[in-house]
């Protein structure tokens, strides 16, 4: 479990969990409304948010087979085709979206970028049209400068083409398969990356790097059971791999298997007693499992080793609150605000604790 994992769980983990829950709700909605174009569209968007490009494309196909006059579905499928490198099909999808909704700035912008990647002369027309409709499009966080996007995509397609050529001559070249999987992963084509790592496993079943990457990507996509399976296979090969143990623990925690998660984090700590991240995540698992005293013990260890960890201090404050010790809550919130005076959670949590303490006096 690498040091960057702390930031990963504290931010991305909770966002991901919401996406997973949203995807599950959409799946159930589709079961009740199997002919609904909107339901397939929503699930496609959820899969896209979880970096399952092939899966999202299949759902957008289903949506459009049920409703041809659906500009948003054409646009989203266009984005997926664009990210998959299917530029000609992406241009067609953006064209259909624009045909149905002429003032579709985002579709014009992406069609201009796709055209520029193919060196088509009329790309600038779409670019200017996107700026006319939405002048701020290139300062929007989701877009940026068209020149930068064209360079990014051209570089990606070039690198993939080079590796594809190598693999035509040596289809079982493991380093090239791993390199292509890594490129696809960085490009957020997680399903494509997993396909390459699976090819590696088919050639070399005990390849630890491929098993690790499959587990990481499956977890990011919300497929916690498959992530656990991949990490477990790796641990059969290398039982003391603390990275795999910790990440399997995270997947179990996200899946709701709290006892299993605690067991994995404890295994990490038995191998490396000073493993701060394992202590932190075990503390969170204890909290979720309503063992607040054990949570506090683990977070005490984390704070002792990193006194500036506002996240650990706030989580300990939450555990103190569950126990009913509001003085300790206030102390921890004050400590957070000394480190980060603008910390909103520390401010609001501290105010709440003061109010609660006042009720008992």
What's the mean pLDDT in 7-30? Answer: 44
**Residue 130 domain-assigned (yes or no):** yes
Separation CA 87–CA 103 (nearest Å): 22
**Arithmetic mean of pLDDT over the chain:** 89
**Residue 158 domain-assigned (yes or no):** no
DSSP collapsed to 3 states, 84-142: CCCHHHHHHHHHHHHHHCCCCHHHHHHHHHHHHHCCCCCHHHHHHHHHHHCCCHHHCCC
What's the mean pLDDT in 295-305? Answer: 97
Q: Which whole-number Å values give the CA distances from 14 to 10, 261, 300, in the listed order?
A: 7, 17, 23
Please tell me the predicted confidence (pLDDT) of residue 22: 52
**Residue 40 domain-assigned (yes or no):** yes
Please tell me the predicted confidence (pLDDT) of residue 29: 59
**Residue 164 domain-assigned (yes or no):** no
Give yes or no for a contact between 180 and 163, defined as CB atoms under 8 angstroms apart: yes
Which of the four pLDDT bands, split at 50, 70 and 90, describes residue 4? very low
211-243 as b/e, with b when 16 or more CB fall inside 10 Å? Answer: bbbbbbbbbbbbbbebbbbbbebbbeeeeebbb
The 10s digit of each residue's pLDDT in 168-220 is: 999 999 999 999 999 999 999 999 999 999 999 999 999 999 999 999 999 99
pLDDT at 228 over 60: yes
Please tell me the predicted confidence (pLDDT) of residue 28: 61
Which of the four pLDDT bands, split at 50, 70 and 90, describes residue 33? low
Give yes or no for a contact between 215 and 247, defined as CB atoms under 8 angstroms apart: yes
Among 62-76, 138-152, 186-200, 286-300, the range scoring the smallest mean pLDDT is 138-152
The whole domain housing 349 covers 258-265+273-361
User: In the listed set 97, 130, 150, which residue is the last one of a domain according to the structure?
Assistant: 150
User: In the listed set 125, 150, 175, which residue is the last one of a domain according to the structure?
Assistant: 150
User: In the listed set 150, 180, 208, which residue is the last one of a domain according to the structure?
Assistant: 150
pLDDT at 250 over 70: yes
What's the mean pLDDT in 310-338? Answer: 95
- Whether the full predicted model's pTM is greater than 0.85, yes or no, is no
The CATH number of the domain holding residue 145 is 1.25.40.10
**Residue 209 domain-assigned (yes or no):** no
pLDDT at 8 over 70: no
Please tell me the predicted confidence (pLDDT) of residue 86: 96
Answer with the residue of higher pLDDT: 261 or 50. 261
Number of domains in the chain: 2
Helix (H) or strand (E) holding 31: helix 14-32
**Residue 282 domain-assigned (yes or no):** yes
What's the mean pLDDT in 294-309? Answer: 97
């Amino acid at each position: 479990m690498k040091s960057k994992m702390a930031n990963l769980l504290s931010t991305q983990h909770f966002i991901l969990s919401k996406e997973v829950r949203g995807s599950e709700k959409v799946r159930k909605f589709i079961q009740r409304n199997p002919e609904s174009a909107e339901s397939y569209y929503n699930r496609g968007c959820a899969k896209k948010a979880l970096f399952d490009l092939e899966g999202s494309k299949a759902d957008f196909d289903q949506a459009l087979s049920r409703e041809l006059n659906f500009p948003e579905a054409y646009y989203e499928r266009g984005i997926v085709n664009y990210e998959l490198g299917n530029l000609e099909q992406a241009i067609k999808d953006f064209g259909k979206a624009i045909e149905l909704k002429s003032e579709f700035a985002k579709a014009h912008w992406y069609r201009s970028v796709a055209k520029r990647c193919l060196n088509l002369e009329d790309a600038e027309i779409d670019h200017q049209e996107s700026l006319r409709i939405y002048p701020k499009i290139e300062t929007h966080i989701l877009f940026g400068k068209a020149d930068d996007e064209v360079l990014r995509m051209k570089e990606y397609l070039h690198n993939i083409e080079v590796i594809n050529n190598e693999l035509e001559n040596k289809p079982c070249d493991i380093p090239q398969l791993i390199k292509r999987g890594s490129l696809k992963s960085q490009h957020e084509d997680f399903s494509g990356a997993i396909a390459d790592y699976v090819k590696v496993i088919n050639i070399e079943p005990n390849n630890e790097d491929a098993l690790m990457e499959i587990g990481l990507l499956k977890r990011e996509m919300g497929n916690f059971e498959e992530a656990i399976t991949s990490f477990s296979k790796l641990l059969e090969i290398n039982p003391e791999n603390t990275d795999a143990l910790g990440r399997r623990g995270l997947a179990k925690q996200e899946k709701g298997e709290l006892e299993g998660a605690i067991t994995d984090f404890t295994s990490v700590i038995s191998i490396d007693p000073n493993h701060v991240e394992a202590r932190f995540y075990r503390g969170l698992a204890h909290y979720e499992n309503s063992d607040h005293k054990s949570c506090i013990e683990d977070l005490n260890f984390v704070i002792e080793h990193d006194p500036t960890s506002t996240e650990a201090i706030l989580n300990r404050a939450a555990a103190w609150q569950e126990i009913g010790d509001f003085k300790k809550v206030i102390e921890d919130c004050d400590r957070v605000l000394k480190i980060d005076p603008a910390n909103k959670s520390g401010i609001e949590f501290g105010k709440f604790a003061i109010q609660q303490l006042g009720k008992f006096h």
